[in-house]
Structure 1
Amino acid sequence: MQICVVALGKIGLPLAVQFAAKGHRVIGADVNEKVVELVNAGVEPFPGEAELDVRLKEAVEAGLLTATTDTAAAVAQCEAVVVVVPLFVDAEGVPDFGWMDAATKAIAAGLRPGTLVSYETTLPVGTTRDRWAPMLAEGSGLTAGEDFHLVFSPERVLTGRVFSDLRRYPKLVGGIDEASAAHGVSFYEAVLDFDERPDLARPNGVWDLGSAEASELAKLAETTYRDVNIGLANQFARFADRAGVDVTKVIEACNTQPYSHIHQPGIAVGGHCIPIYPRMYLWNDPEATVVRSAREANAAMPEYAVDLLAAAYGDLTGASVLVLGAAYRGGVKETAFSGVFPTVEALRARGAVPYVSDPMYTAEELAAHGLPPHRGEPVTAAVLQADHAEYRDLTAADLPDVRVLVDGRRTTDPARWAGVRRVVIGG
């Protein structure tokens, strides 16, 4: 097949490489000229994705993957189009469709009869049928479901392990009609590989969920579940602090029972998915009080971590505090909705002088994100925000003036922090 992947970001580029690895010819379309230049040179434009550097180079050298900034021209050459353009929501949960609208109009300009269009970007329920189908039809002069096929098929992977996740999890597909769904299923069966999963009630592979709306809801539901679960764990942790109980031992004990799957509490929930998709769900279902409460509980955790620091340290006015980790999670060079931003804000509100360090970022990169980089200034307190592997070996000697450490991820080794008051969330 000739396949166009629209947006060569941290999900789109690995997808393009995966499709090429199956022998298909792939054109990646992106508005960023630098990304296009790097991809055409066989160089990964961002670090941290396992296997991507080698597999990208192989695909480009084999002539199976090229990149362009001309989306319409790329679509016109292809029989399948996969869309992975970002969609964000504002503080009230209202989606901003600007980038996706622009991409969809460009796709429509190149759309030919018989083409399959698959949206993988997480969407509010109803968007594929009610927004994209009319927009594609208007821009192309073709009829959705008759002249071209349209499905929603959510990405279900984590950055850093995209290729392994593509094999591990069933690929969900929902079409605007039966013919679209059938084309979607056939497409993904031809471009993906799947691990054996005897634990699944249905065989691993491509699952037709019956409609685009069901597929859209499935992605929102699985991600919202994680946010609600973490919110519950954080509520347990805050109570455990008041009761003098170690919540991790409690959670470990609870999860020995097969119906309990409590997640771990922590200082923040970040990234492109968990902080956003529950709000997107709330946009569809504003009466979902459980979802709203969990989102509020998780959003409050950075300030709670600073409360713990103040309780252990005393008045933070003028205190120099180092926030360890700018990334939203360990091992990933990404600050999207990272807990570092509200943590720094909460420290400043207390009168502290915050600094930020991260093994994946230079001081200049941190400053470009609006974060105060640590350049060796003495600090008397620290807050661990991201669970980078490097922090497991961190010791009190590495921060000799620190009196209090709040480990928001339970990453540090308590034996290495003798003489420092080490505080964790949930006892």
Structure 2
Amino acid sequence: MKICVVALGKIGLPLAVQFAAKGHEVIGADVSERVVSLVNDGAVPFPGETDLDVKLKEAVAAGLLSATTDTTAAVAQSEAVVVVVPLFVDADGVPDFGWMDSATRAIAAGLRPGTLVSYETTLPVGTTRSRWAPMLQEGSGLTAGRDFSLVFSPERVLTGRVFADLRRYPKLVGGVDEASAAHGVRFYEAVLDFDDRPDLDKPNGVWDLGSAEASELAKLAETTYRDVNIGLANQFARFADTVGVDVTKVIEACNTQPYSHIHSPGIAVGGHCIPIYPRMYLWNDPAATVVRAAREANAAMPDYAVQLLADAYGDLTGANVLVLGAAYRGGVKETAFSGVFPTVEALRARGANAFVSDPMYTAEELTAHGLPPHQGEDVSAAIIQADHAEYRNLGPAELPGVRVLVDGRRVTDPARWAGTDRVVIGG
């Protein structure tokens, strides 16, 4: 097949490479001339994705992957179009469709009869049918379900391990009609590889969920579940702090029972997914009080971690405090909705001088993100915000002068901090 992947970001580019590895001819479309140039040179435009550098070079060298800024022209040459353009929500949870609207109009201008269009970007329920179908029809003069196929098929991968996750998890598809769904199933069966190991909980492959709406809800539900679960764990942790209980031992004990799957508490929930998709769900279902409460509970954790520091340290006015970790999670160079921002804000609100360090970021990069880099200043307290592997062996020798450490991710060894006040969330 000839396939167009629209948006060559941290999900779109690995998808394009995966499709090319199956022998298909792929054109990647992106608005960034820099990204397009790098991809055409076989160079990865972002770090951290396992095997992407090797697989990208192979695909480009084989003539199976190229990139362009002309989305309409790329679509006009393609039998299938996969859309992975980012969608965000504002502070009130209202989706900003600007980028996706623009991409959809460009797709419509090049759409031909018989083409499959698959949206993989997480969407509010009903968007594929009520927003994209009319827009594609208006711009192309074609009818969804009759002249072209239209499906929603959510990405279900984690950056850093996209290729492994593509193999492991069932691929979900929902069409605007049965024919579109069948087309989507055939397409994904032809472009993906699936594990068939006997230890998998469910049979792998492509699952037709029956409608675009069901597929949209499945993506929102699985990510919202994680936010709610983490919110519950954080509530348990905060209560454990008041009664002197180690919540990790409690959670470990609970999870020996097969019906309990409590997640881990922590200083923040970040990234493109978990902080965003529950708010997208709430846009559809504003009466979902459980979802709203969990989102609020998780958003409050950076301030709670700083309060724990103040309780142990005393007045933070004028104190130099080092925040360890700008990334939203360990080992990933990404600050999207990272807990570092509200942590720094909470420290400043208490009069502290906040500094940030991260093994994956230079001082210049931190400054570009609006974060104050640590450049040798003496510090008397520290907060671990990201669970980088480099922090596992951290001790007082590496942080001279630190009187109080708040380990927001429980990555440090308590034995190494004997004699220093080490505080963790949840006892």
TM-score normalized with structure 2 length: 0.99
Q: Which moved more, 1:197-206 or 1:354-363?
A: 197-206
The share of aligned pairs that are identical, in percent, is 87
Indicate whether 1:80 and 2:85 are aligned.
Answer: no
- After TM superposition, the structure 1 stretch with the greater mean CA deviation from structure 2, 254-263 or 202-211, is 202-211
Does structure 1 residue 4 correspond to structure 2 residue 11?
no
Distance (Å, rounded) in 1 between the aligned partners of 2:68 and 2:285: 39
Matches of 1:265 and 1:374, distance apart in 2: 27
C-alpha distance in 1, partners of 2:202/2:362? 47
**Where does residue 147 of structure 2 map in the other structure?**
147
* 2:395 equivalent in structure 1: 395
2:309 matched to which residue of 1? 309
Cα distance, 1:199 vs structure 2: 5.4
Number of equivalenced pairs:
427
Partners of 2:203 and 2:398 in 1: CA distance: 51
Aligned to 2:362: 362
Residue 60 of structure 2 corresponds to residue 60 of structure 1: yes
Match of 2:239 in 1: 239
Deviations 1:143-176 (A, max 9, x none): 1111100000000000000000000000000000
Q: Secondary structure at the match of 1:393?
A: coil
Higher mean C-alpha deviation, range 411-420 or range 382-391:
411-420
Partner of 1:383: 383
Query: Shift of the alpha carbon at 1:417?
Result: 1.8
Determine if the alignment matches structure 1 residue 93 to structure 2 residue 93: yes
Asked if the contact 1:396–1:418 (Cα under 8 Å) also holds between the matched residues in 2, the reply is no
* Equivalent residue runs for 1:272-287 within 5 Å: 272-287=272-287
Q: Which sits farther off after the overlay, 357-366 or 197-206? A: 197-206
In structure 2, C-alpha distance between the alignment counterparts of 1:199 and 1:184, rounded to whole Å: 27
What residue in structure 2 maps to residue 51 of structure 1? 51
CA distance in 1, matches of 2:275, 2:202: 30
- Mapped partners of 2:91, 2:110: distance in 1: 35
| 2:239 partner letter | F
Per-residue deviation, residues 158-215 of structure 1 (Å, max 9, x unmatched)? 0000000000000000000000000000000000011115456752100000000000
Distance 1:381 1:115 in 2: 58
Residue 38 of structure 1 is matched in structure 2 by 38
Map Cα deviations across residues 108-162 of structure 1 (whole Å, 9 max, x no partner).
0100000000000000000000000000000011111111000000000000000
Matches within 5 A, 1:11-410: 11-198=11-198, 203-410=203-410
Letter in 2 for 1:42: G
CA offset at residue 418 of structure 1? Answer: 2.6
Distance apart, 1:394 and its partner CA? 1.2
Q: Is the 8 A contact 1:197 1:204 kept in 2?
A: no
Deviations 1:272-299 (A, max 9, x none): 0000000000000000000000000000
Q: How far apart, in 1, do the equivalents of 2:396 and 2:15 lie? A: 43
Letter in 1 for 2:414: P
Query: In structure 1, what residue type is equivalent to 2:393?
Result: D
Distance 2:157 2:202 in 1: 20
Residue identity opposite 2:85 in structure 1: V
- Pick closer, same or farther for the CA change 1:59–1:319 going to 2, 3 Å: same
Q: Secondary structure at the match of 2:128?
A: helix
Q: Secondary structure at the match of 2:392?
A: helix
| Aligned structure 1 segments of 4 or more residues deviating by more than 3 angstroms | 197-202
1:413, distance to aligned residue in structure 2 (A): 1.2
Instruction: Give the Cα separation in 2 of the matches to 1:352 and 1:419.
Output: 23
Aligned-partner Cα distance in 2 for 1:88–1:307: 30
- CA gap 1:131/1:197 in 2 versus in 1, 3 angstroms: farther
1:340-360 C-alpha deviation (Å, 9 max, x unpaired): 000000000000000000000
The one-letter amino acid of 1:35's match is V
CA contact (8 A) 1:4 1:29 kept: yes
